[in-house]
Amino acid sequence: MKRTLLGFAIGFAFTLMLGWIAFPRALYTHKQQPFTFLHKAHAEKSGISDCGECHAFKDDGEFAGIPATEKCASCHSEQLGDTKAEAILVSNYVKPGHETHWLVYAQQPANVWFSHAIHLKRAGLSCQQCHGSYGETDQVKVYQLNRISGYSRDIWGHSMSRFRRAPGDGMKMSDCETCHSRRHVEVGCLGCHK
């Protein structure tokens, strides 16, 4: 009986370890961005302190998302420094007038309607509340694509258990519901879903 119980305990512990360590590694594929972009360097060197200076709204209030190459070209029409990343930006994107095909960490599922304008302007949220301190980073994180859902790991968050999550780590429906509940804001299903 003791051997059976010990065998079960070892098997159970092994299965849990496999589930929490091996499964996430098998579930996600890793991809690199087209070149390195450092938010912190841009903030320090150019004095950009507001996310909205590059990540602006369109005239209709919709969020424009990742800046067009034209926005980068206003400072990088020619190479300013000696980094490999800037050389790639100028030669492959700015001079030929091509858009950079960034991998979007926060791409929401197709059935979700989300308005940045409402959350930033009306609710007064900061970008950091949902996106974390990404704008202060001095490195580009690896894009992790979920092989099953096709979405970035940033939607789920980096902890499979979702315990001890940092602010801005995860953009699941439950994260939105928790924030709305704290602020006593009800929108109903069609307020967020198409």
Residue-level pLDDT at 99? 93
* Residue type at position 12: F
For 36-84, write each residue's pLDDT tens digit.
888 888 888 877 778 888 888 776 667 767 888 998 898 899 988 888 9
Tens of pLDDT, residue by residue, the chain (194 residues): 677 888 898 989 888 888 778 887 888 999 999 998 888 888 888 777 788 888 887 766 677 678 889 988 988 999 888 889 999 999 999 999 999 999 988 888 888 888 888 888 889 988 888 887 777 887 888 899 999 989 998 888 877 677 767 767 888 888 899 889 999 999 889 988 98
Give the C-alpha separation, 138 to 118, whole Å. Answer: 29
Residue-level pLDDT at 110? 86
Quickly tell me which residue has 């109903």 as its tokens: 188
The pair of three-digit structure tokens given for residue 145, joined into one six-digit string: 């694509």
Helix (H, G, I), strand (E, B), or coil: what is residue 146? strand
Give Rg (Cα) of the chain: 21
Helix (H, G, I), strand (E, B), or coil: what is residue 78? coil
Global confidence as pTM = 0.76
Sequence ranges of the domains in the chain: 24-32+102-194
The answer to whether 157 and 170 are in contact (CB under 8 A) is yes
